[in-house]
Amino acid sequence: MKHHSGSIEVICGSMFCGKTEELIRRLRRAQIARQKVQVFKPAIDRRYDELRVTSHAGMAFDAIPIEKAADILSHLETDTTVVGIDEAQFIDAQIVDIVETLANRGVRVILAGLDMDFRGEPFGSMPVLMARAERVDKLQAICMVCGEPASRTQRLVNGKPARYDDPVVIVGAAELYEARCRSHHQVPRE
């Protein structure tokens, strides 16, 4: 079943807010509607499964691991009408042009990713993707300190907040990261 026009949807927020679960929910609905779905994920993300997009809660969907954005076009099947991309913040900047190209061809593109890095700064191409999207949903988690809504990701090193000058990309889950509200998010600069 072909779409009348393409679109870009971005699901963003902190870690543990349900981005991948929402991505999988939308992809499953597309399959129910008999649409041809293909899913991609950065090869760097091997936390749960190399060949599946997997949420922290255990939901999963088959995916093709890619090294760079251009790999999406080389793996794309001609009858695909919906493309899902998880952890979009880890994919190189060419992702923006590729997503635009797909949407202009009539493909519905659904991306999920962190909008901010552990420092609370815009992450990768996510800000540009959000600006160009027809739909943006920013989800919130629960602050692990106070229980309030959380929009930030706290990286921990030996149980303490990571320093501002620590590496931005370190793939991990609950052993390295917590969801935090603005008040409890800490990034020491010294």
d(CA 38, CA 175): 30
Between residues 173 and 24, the one the model is more confident about: 24
pLDDT digits (tens, 9 = 90+) for 44-86: 876 666 777 777 677 787 899 999 999 999 999 999 999 999 9
Q: In this predicted structure, what is the pLDDT of residue 106?
A: 96
Give me the CATH topology for the region 7-139. Rossmann fold (3.40.50)
- In angstroms, rounded to a whole number, what is the distance separating the alpha carbons of residues 160 and 108? 41
* Mean pLDDT, all residues of the chain: 91
| Residue 175 designated active-site | no
Question: Could you report the per-residue pLDDT of 150-186, keeping only the tens digit for each?
Answer: 999 999 988 899 999 988 877 766 578 999 999 999 9
What global pTM score does this model have? 0.92
Q: Which of 87, 100, 175, 190 is catalytic?
A: 87
Mean pLDDT of 108-123: 97
Instruction: Write down the pLDDT at residue 113.
Output: 97
> Residue 55's pLDDT is what?
72
Distance, in Å, from the CA atom of 51 to the CA atom of 61, rounded to the nearest integer, reads 9
Distance CA 179, CA 46 (A): 21
Block residue for tokens 């999920």? 112
Residue 154: closest CA among 113, 182, 190, 130: 182
Q: Which of 99, 118, 124, 120 is nearest to 110 (CA)?
A: 99
- Rounded Cα–Cα distance for residues 83 and 145 (Å): 36
